[in-house]
């Protein structure tokens, strides 16, 4: 079964775009990564549609630029910090 989570937007994580500092994006999980996400306090989604809906809610919650309510864990999936909602 494919699972998904939200992580810090790659536009900030990789490209250092300050406008995306608090933005999130969907990340597909592989193997046992769902355990790491849960340990960090993040959310695991079982469908892409649910993950995308959560991404839109988080990124649009507080206007522009995106200001995700919550924080980014020091735990990472690849190079992306796991998003932990409030």
pLDDT tens digits along 43-78: 999 999 999 999 999 988 776 778 888 999 999 998
DSSP code string of the chain: --EEEEEE-HHHHTT--GGGTB-EEEEEE-TTHHHHHHHHT---BSSHHHHHHHHHHHHHTT-SS-B-SEEEEEEEETTEEEEEE-
Angle made by CA atoms 6, 69, 53, in degrees to the nearest 5? 45
Q: What confidence score (pLDDT) does residue 81 get?
A: 95
**Domain count of the fold of the chain:** 1
pLDDT tens digits along 8-27: 998 886 777 888 888 999 99
Q: What confidence score (pLDDT) does residue 42 get?
A: 98
From CA 53, how far away is CA 31, in angstroms rounded? 23
Q: What confidence score (pLDDT) does residue 38 get?
A: 97
- CA 1 vs. chain centroid, Å, equals 19
86 falls in which pLDDT band (50, 70, 90)? Answer: confident
Q: What confidence score (pLDDT) does residue 56 get?
A: 93
Both tokens assigned to 14:
């990789």
| Structural domain of 45 | 3-85
């Amino acid at each position: 079964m494919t699972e998904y989570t939200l992580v810090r937007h790659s536009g900030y994580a990789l490209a250092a775009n300050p406008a995306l500092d608090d933005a999130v994006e969907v990340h597909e999980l592989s193997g046992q990564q769902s355990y790491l996400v849960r340990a960090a306090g993040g959310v695991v989604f079982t469908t892409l549609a649910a993950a995308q809906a959560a991404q839109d809610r988080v990124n649009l919650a507080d206007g522009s630029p995106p200001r995700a309510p919550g924080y980014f864990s020091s735990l990472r999936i690849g190079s992306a910090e796991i998003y932990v909602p409030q």
